[in-house]
Amino acid sequence: MAGETLTATSYIQHHLTNLTYGKLPEGYERHNADGSVDVLSQDTWTLAHTSQEASDMGFMAIHLDSMFWSIFLGAVFVLVFARVAKRIHTGVPRGMQNFVEMAVDFIDKQVKDSFHHKNAMIAPMALTIFVWILLMNTMDLVPVDWLPHLATIISGDPHFFFKVVPTTDPNVTLGMAFTVFGLMIYFTIAKKGFMGFVKELTLHPFHAEKWYINLILIPINFALETISWISKPISLGLRLFGNLYAGEMIFILIATMFSAGLVLGLFAGVLQWAWAVFHILVIVLQAFVFMVLTIVYMAMAHQVEEEDQFH
């Protein structure tokens, strides 16, 4: 933190900016902390020093902190589970195996409840989604300043951006949601053929016996179905992002109270604890919701019977 220049607004702003590595265009004016201005003579790949720079980088940028934590936590998930899977035995399970089997059993039950088709990919996908998102969300329970502050100490840069909760980054949640969306389209086409996919978009929900009425209905159906399809990944991704972002925001707001004297500081401690307890619910619930909706979307993509009535 930048000592005397620290205000609540800049503190919050700092906490909401990702560590962005991206391309700044030629001729870009970089404002340094001391007020001087550098003009770039060519396109430059660099770390953003301000949130303004981060947003000016546009699409050609990557959030290093989000990617690091999401891949790190994903690696924790697969390594722990793969280690158990490698040593698994049919005897009495102990320790980690117990936990892993419980998770697998829970996911398996959820998948069997709503997915009645034959696809060996769905259950592992649900497991990945649930455990991974749960781990990423859980980063929210680490007090908001610990890891970012550690990062500034290690990097030696007091303005070093470091967001530790990947699911508060819309890129992460929407990235997963659009991947789910892509798999949905893929399985729909794989199960029903390309024409089946087109029919699903055009002959649904309105359908008439006479072909000329259908001709009028097709554009309406297409508009409605397109919206309904597109809204799925967007709502899936933004729901997770919104919940976690709001939670993180409240943690940050509570954290600003720590510097406002002993009484308010203690009060903030109590608040932070209470919100963390409440947030545990949000963390698990959002991971669960994302997983269940993914399973449901996959089941919809595999549903061939429903499509049959449009022949």
For residue 139, the 8-state DSSP code is G
In the annotation, is 231 catalytic?
Answer: no
3-state secondary structure of 30: strand
Helix crossing, 122-138 with 262-302: angle to 10°? 170
Q: Which two tokens stand for residue 40?
A: 């770039």
Three-state DSSP at 20 gives strand
Toward other proteins, which CB reaches closer, 267 or 288?
288
Residue 310 C-beta: closest distance to other proteins, Å? 31
Q: Which is nearer to other proteins, 268 or 291 (CB)?
A: 291
Shortest Å, Cβ 302 to other proteins: 17
Q: Point out the catalytic residue in the list 70, 137, 221, 243.
A: 243
From the number of C-beta atoms within 10 Å of its C-beta (0-12, 13-18, 19+), residue 239 rates as: middle
Active-site residue flag, 243: yes
Q: Based on CB atoms, which residue is closest to other proteins, 131 or 203?
A: 131
- Supply the minimum distance, in Å, between the C-beta of residue 147 and other proteins: 18
SS3 content of the chain, % helix, strand, coil (to 5): 70, 5, 25
**In the complex, least distance from residue 181 CB atom to other proteins, rounded to whole angstroms:** 10
Which is nearer to other proteins, 163 or 279 (by Cβ)? 163
Least distance between other proteins and beta carbon 145 (Å)? 22
Interface ranges with other proteins (CB under 8 A): 18, 20, 22, 54-55, 57-63, 66-67, 70-71, 74, 77-78, 81-82, 84-86, 88-91, 100-101, 104-105, 108, 120-121, 123-125, 127-128, 132, 166, 169-172, 174-176, 178-179, 182
Q: Annotated catalytic, 228?
A: no
Indicate the length of the chain as a whole number. 311
Q: Which residue bears the tokens 């990947």?
A: 166
From the list 155, 171, 214, 239, the catalytic residue is: 239
Residues ≥6 apart with Cβ < 8 Å to 119: 187, 298, 302
Nearest to 244 by CA among 173, 171, 170, 167: 167
162/268 with CB nearer other proteins: 162
The residues that are catalytic are: 235, 239, 243
